[in-house]
Amino acid sequence: MDQEGTSGKIDPPIFFRRNDTLCMEDASYFQDLLYRTVKIGAELEFAMPKGIRREDFQPVVEALMAPSKDMNRLGRLGVFNVIKEHCGVEIQIIGRHPHWDSLVKQYRQIITPLLRQGIRMRPTCGLHFHLICIGLSESLPEIIAANLWNITRKYAPGLKFLTSGGDSSEGLCRRRQNNAHYEFMQQSPIDLSLREIQGNLKKSLEVPEHQNFVNLEHMDFDENGEISCFHVEFRFPDGDLSPISITAKTFLFLVMLLKAIEISKFGLLHVGKIREWNRKKELMDMISNNNGMLATSNTSSITDEIIGEYREIAEQLLRFLKSIFIVLDNPSEIVLQELTKRPISLRRIEGDDWNKIDSDLHALIMPRRPLDDLDYKIIKIIELGLVGGMKKPEEWLKITAIKSDASKETIWERIESYKDRGPIWDQGLGRVVFLR
């Protein structure tokens, strides 16, 4: 739970005790429940190829995407609809349970043919993520969403930097207008319930409700103030056309939600000390404003030293989320660590195109050894329990090696490579089993 800065100083987070603070058992239950039920979908925006009108190009996109226009039917690419957007075209992608390989494959199938058509990323383009819990038969404690709200507030400058996608140092990201942070930063669940915050955002004359940094307009509450419909939209990420980057960001938001549940057994997370908090508001104003050219934010005052501040906050966030990344055991953390050092914006400023960006991020991921006939023999023995009742692992290993026609050393090396399956020795069954 502690955060360690670059100086090595440990800065433990502060929590406020609340009546709805979760006990250990409830935190475990809701973490498991939301992990199983949350779906994450995206709104992918992009601009037309040069010299082509939207009216002529949108039918091409629709033909390529084959939208199902039915939220309950994924269709060929998991696309719900293709619609007109002020920046050009928006692809609405149906929410699904995040799985690394499946998401990378899906976004590649969506984006690759469009890049071949010459689509572009303009400053007006965003990438919105929707987190929705489907099929819940019970309300969720409000503290879960309140902690998600405060995690996002506490690390907002780092999140904005990590997800920035501009192509110039004077315009690191799109303008604030459609992902406004200033009311979001002001509204604290320490003083207000989340339902009251939602009401304040709805009544605001400064920022349209749906254009907030985090959009709560679709959240519903029951008569006790608990959450009867969980639906959060993260609006702040800039447009992105790298399947690896988009998939990693999808997992970032999943991990933030699961971490919000984990810390809810300690109370409500505080955003930090006054001086630190005021500096974060200054950093947000510098990176997210309406003062830039061509629909960008004016980031000309951000020096390399200040970029170091954004980077440090993003690194603090990833350290804070570490316990969840370990459990998920996929490449998202590796990719996010790299994006913390060099987000899409800095890569585009250096002249990288989308294919190079995606290729460079993909190169960070250790390739998995493809399964061969021996792997299938071992996995079959483990999953079907064909060798069991042994007193010691050595006995099980000896018989498994004979049945697989391989050495004990080879069998053990293969089993250790199945980390994503969580192999362990079960003394009661007298055999190796997979935890997942």
Joined together, the tokens standing for residue 2 give: 């502690």
Same domain? 301 vs 358: yes
Residue 10 has pLDDT above 80, yes or no: no
The answer to whether 136 and 220 are in contact (CB under 8 A) is no
Q: For 28-46, what is the mean pLDDT?
A: 96
C-beta separation of 387 from 381 below 8 A: yes
pLDDT in tens, 254-313: 999 999 999 999 999 999 999 999 999 999 999 999 999 989 999 999 999 999 999 999
Residue 68 resides in a domain: yes
Q: Which two tokens stand for residue 44?
A: 């992918």
Indicate whether 148 and 278 sit together in one domain.
yes
pTM, entire model: 0.90
Number of domains in the chain: 2
Q: Where does a domain end: 362, 395, 421?
A: 362
Average pLDDT, the chain: 94
122-151: per-residue pLDDT in tens? 999 999 999 999 888 899 999 999 999 999
Residue 6: the pLDDT is 38
Domain at 72, CATH number: 3.30.590
Question: Do 39 and 176 have their domain in common?
Answer: yes
Element (H, E) at 269: strand 268-269
State yes or no: pLDDT of 2 exceeds 70. Answer: no
Q: Over the stretch 220-244, which tens digit does the pLDDT of each residue have?
A: 999 999 999 999 999 999 999 999 9
- pLDDT, residue 435, reads 86
Same domain, yes or no: 247 and 377: no
Helix (H, G, I), strand (E, B) or coil at 74: coil
Q: Whole-angstrom Cα distance, residue 434 to residue 436?
A: 5
**396 and 337 co-located in one domain:** no
Q: Residue 330: what residue type?
A: N
CA distance 243 to 245: 6
Q: Residue 54, SS3?
A: helix
Over 60: is that where the pLDDT of 5 sits?
no
- What domain range is 403 assigned to? 373-434
Q: Which residue carries 């192509």 as its tokens?
A: 167
pLDDT value of position 366: 81
* Domain stops at, among 362, 390, 412: 362
Report d(CA 94, CA 105) in Å as an integer.
Answer: 15
- 378 with 355, same domain? no
Q: Which two tokens stand for residue 164?
A: 């920035």
Together in a domain, 320 and 201: yes
Domain finish residue from 362, 385, 401 = 362
Residue 401 has pLDDT above 80, yes or no: yes
* Size of the chain, expressed as the number of residues it contains: 436
